[in-house]
Chain A
Amino acid sequence: MTAATDTVTPQAWWRPAVWRNLPRDYPVVPLVILLVLLVVVVQLTQPGTVNAGWAAVNIRQAVVLAILAGCQTLTMLTGGIDLSVAYVASMSGFVTATFVHQPGGWVLGITVALAAAALAGLVNGVGVGVFRVHPLIMTLGMGLIVYGFSNVWQLQNVQTGSGVPSELRTVGSSLAGDLIPYNLVVFVPIAIVLLVLLRRTGYGRMLYAVGDNPVAARLSGVRSWQVLVVLYVISALLAGIAGLLQSGLSNTASVTLVVPYLLPSVAAAVIGGTSILGGRGGYSGTIVGALILTVLTGYLSIILPEPWRQIVFGSIVVLVAAAYTRVTAEA
């Protein structure tokens, strides 16, 4: 990453500073260690749980969370957040389902759903980028609007009925050879695009720049509104795709289907090492964060009743976030 500076003073790997800075410079490493530890704990306390099938189910579950957390990662990098993703995602799955019995079928459904999602994202982007409304409020208001329209759409489609298209069910929930989730077909390309976008493209650099210091970005000739409008459209499209996968996975179409994922999506990005204040983070950490949260939720649901599950879940999010703040704190 920092070839330009590393050539000035190469740091030998045996230097303690390298190890001390590891969590900050490569946050994925301790996260993977945390994930492995978690899996070990699961296996030790519930012997026989961990096997290929278990892994496949967890990954399939984590994919939806990872995509939604991707929305939060991208927006958080710019110092924003996208609270509309849950409603946009639910809307997307639901709208698609209402097209099943219509001419055009699910293909038209997905097209309409993603177009509606993109429109919501566009409004978000214009509000945040051009009108400078705080992203928290902008996406919150957009969430209300999308939710309201979804409900209206629902009432108008009661007669025609709805159903999750079988194609979505296959992609969302099937396991190839009982081992490999089909939804990876959707997720792997998305993950690669996001990782490359953030690391190797000018647009990725702009996300970090706008989040780290909007004034500096402006003085360097960056038109932040362009960056933000594109960002919120991308975020809404990702949310739309996540909604499709989730409706396929759960074989339900409801206007609140994805709402329970809203706060965990923020938590996964935070656990993954992305700063909610902007300018720091990445998608690889988020993917691991989503896996950790999924495995953790599954494990807790076995060993603990619901109330304690929530308490432990919340406590762990605080602990991990606190650990991050410690390692990235200004020396």
Chain B
Amino acid sequence: MTATATVTAAATTNGLLLEATDVSKTYGAVVALDHASLSVRPGEVHALMGANGAGKSTLVKILTGAVTPDSGRIVVRGRERMSHSPADARRNGLVSVYQEPAVILDLDIRDNLRLTSTPLEPFRHWLNELGLANLSLTRLARRLPLASLRIVDLARALAIEPDVLLLDEITAALPANLTELVLRVVQQQGNDRAVIFISHRLIEIAAICDRATVLRNGETVGVVDVTAGSEDKIVDLMLGEGAVALGQQVASVVAAAAQADRQPRVSAQALSDGRRLHDATFDLYPGEVLGVVALEGQGQDELFDLLSGAERPAAGTLSVDGKPVSFRHPADAIRKGMVFVAADRAEALLMQRSVRENISLPFSARLTQWGWINLGREGKKVDEAVATLQIDARAGSEVRRLSGGNQQKVTIARWVASGVKTMLCFDPTRGIDIRTKTQIYILLRDLAAAGAAILLYTSELKEIQLACDRVIVIFGGQVVAEMPAAGADEATLLRAAHNLKPGAALPEEVVAATSADKAAVEAAIQADVDGGSAAPVEQP
């Protein structure tokens, strides 16, 4: 590494490993970064925090050379090092890992390593550490499951031993057990190097980070030492003035669903896709939000594919309103009132089209609706949906120009405008800021209160208690547990997600995380949920 020669220089200046000062970047009229700064000490895990649109991703892009800033300095180990491409950043000792693995699917793992000049032995070492010791390097990347690719991507970055490792939302879509491993490995990084860690999950920040830099509206608004109780401060900084206690509003609309004598809206009996999902049996009632909890790859993706009509079941029966159904296409499911909200907004939106066209898309989907559009009626429905979801549609002529949270709202507004009977939400709050998250929960509760049936899978276990009435747990392609959400705290859910009987011991790493610093974790959950207030969440 070129930077090792300058270690002494770094020590003599200010002891910082990386220092970014006065970094500014504007896109047209939009100010993405406004004299932001970031300083990272050797040996620390440094959190970079901020709501969506605060400028985190722009700062990351600048650090890794994907974007050139309008002004500002970046100093690594005492030397000015502005990167102009990821390759350049790599030479400067900065390597990043993203939520989407930067692995070329059409090459095998060995060629992927050659492409990035990654040394083999250290890569093997980290692969072992991350629990993938048996991986064959001659396998085409395309044939590996996504979770493995994420691990490969991380191991590859670790093997290069960069001065600064940037981890951008890598845990956002990882199952809980892998997250534990990853976090532990991240914490192990040496004293001479540092990690910049970006995550929306305050619990993870609390667990592994030493300090946190908070961005808001493109400015650095604070640097916080992460200790027990500092999460409130972080959340306050992220939200700025006018933070509201939305959590309580969510809690107040949670109503008990008296379901015993009612017909289920959706009933799945031994549903199977023939591969991952073997026996999904559950009922979803009108007026309730049913949570789904699972570690990654337990068949929940496949379950949602079957329910939404994207794939056909191999076995089992699915009934809607008491009548058996067989979906060959999402259109069939939609006709039965089963609509799907995806985690990946790029999968759900027409990025070049307007908010209006995106919301009205299902109106014209069927052959019989291909005729004349009544613009007045369509506009009214769209406006109502925009208002209901409080979408900021100022840049609405092209959806790609909206913020991530607003984009996600558009994917939901599409179905709200058409009238919701059954909504299948697959991790709808992934990578979304707290405020938008809360708004989405409130909306789901409102929809349920109006009689809709909602199925909600989420990778964040603490969301279950907040938004759901009941919860089912999937493990190994089967529904292994069902419980009221009121009693489903994170430890209970984790235990169930690992298919452990109540009272049995948790695997070591799970315990380590859940009981690490109980006070801090609980505070973090509370802070995340309540948007800063300490109001307790009431369960009916």
**A12 proximal to B (CB < 8 A):** no
A185-230 contacts to B, CB under 8 A, are 200-203, 205-206, 208-209, 212-213, 215-223, 226
Where the two chains meet, the residues of A that have a C-beta atom closer than 8 Å to any C-beta of B are 1-5, 7-9, 17, 20-21, 25, 200-203, 205-206, 208-209, 212-213, 215-223, 226, 275, 279-280, 330-331
**Residues in B neighbouring A219, C-beta threshold 8 A:** 308, 310, 330, 340, 342, 347-348
Question: Quick check: A221 and B356 within 8 Å, CB to CB?
Answer: no
Contact (A209, B329) CB under 8 Å given A215-B347, A216-B361: no
Kindly count the residue-residue contacts between A and B in the assembled complex, taking CB atoms under 8 Å apart.
135
Give the complex CA separation of A201 and B375 in angstroms: 10
**B29 proximal to A (CB < 8 A):** yes
Question: Quick check: A4 and B386 within 8 Å, CB to CB?
Answer: yes
Question: Quick check: A212 and B352 within 8 Å, CB to CB?
Answer: yes
**Residues in B neighbouring A25, C-beta threshold 8 A:** 397
Question: Quick check: B361 and A2 within 8 Å, CB to CB?
Answer: no
Taking the closest CB of chain B, its distance from the CB of A240, in whole angstroms, is 22
Question: Quick check: B350 and A2 within 8 Å, CB to CB?
Answer: no
Give the complex CA separation of A213 and B353 in angstroms: 10
> Which of B42-50, B149-157, B366-374, B469-477 faces chain A?
B366-374
Residue from B335, B361, B373 with most neighbouring chain A CB atoms (10 Å): B361
Question: Quick check: B394 and A221 within 8 Å, CB to CB?
Answer: no
Give the complex CA separation of A2 and B360 in angstroms: 12
Give the complex CA separation of A221 and B370 in angstroms: 13
Question: Quick check: A5 and B356 within 8 Å, CB to CB?
Answer: yes
Give the complex CA separation of A8 and B395 in angstroms: 10
Question: Quick check: A209 and B353 within 8 Å, CB to CB?
Answer: yes
**B388 proximal to A (CB < 8 A):** no
Residue from A201, A202, A212, A220 with most neighbouring chain B CB atoms (10 Å): A220
CB-defined A-B contacts under 8 Å, sample of 24: A1-B354, A2-B355, A4-B383, A4-B386, A4-B396, A5-B356, A5-B396, A5-B397, A7-B383, A200-B375, A201-B371, A202-B370, A202-B372, A202-B373, A205-B364, A208-B350, A209-B353, A209-B357, A219-B308, A220-B361, A220-B362, A221-B362, A275-B352, A331-B28
Question: Quick check: B355 and A4 within 8 Å, CB to CB?
Answer: yes
Question: Quick check: B340 and A2 within 8 Å, CB to CB?
Answer: no
Taking the closest CB of chain A, its distance from the CB of B5, in whole angstroms, is 40
**B400 proximal to A (CB < 8 A):** yes
Taking the closest CB of chain A, its distance from the CB of B360, in whole angstroms, is 7
The residue that A202 contacts in the complex, of B342, B349, B352, B363, with Cβ under 8 A, is B363
Give the complex CA separation of A151 and B355 in angstroms: 50
Question: Quick check: B394 and A209 within 8 Å, CB to CB?
Answer: no
Question: Quick check: B371 and A4 within 8 Å, CB to CB?
Answer: no
Question: Quick check: A220 and B353 within 8 Å, CB to CB?
Answer: no
Question: Quick check: B356 and A205 within 8 Å, CB to CB?
Answer: no
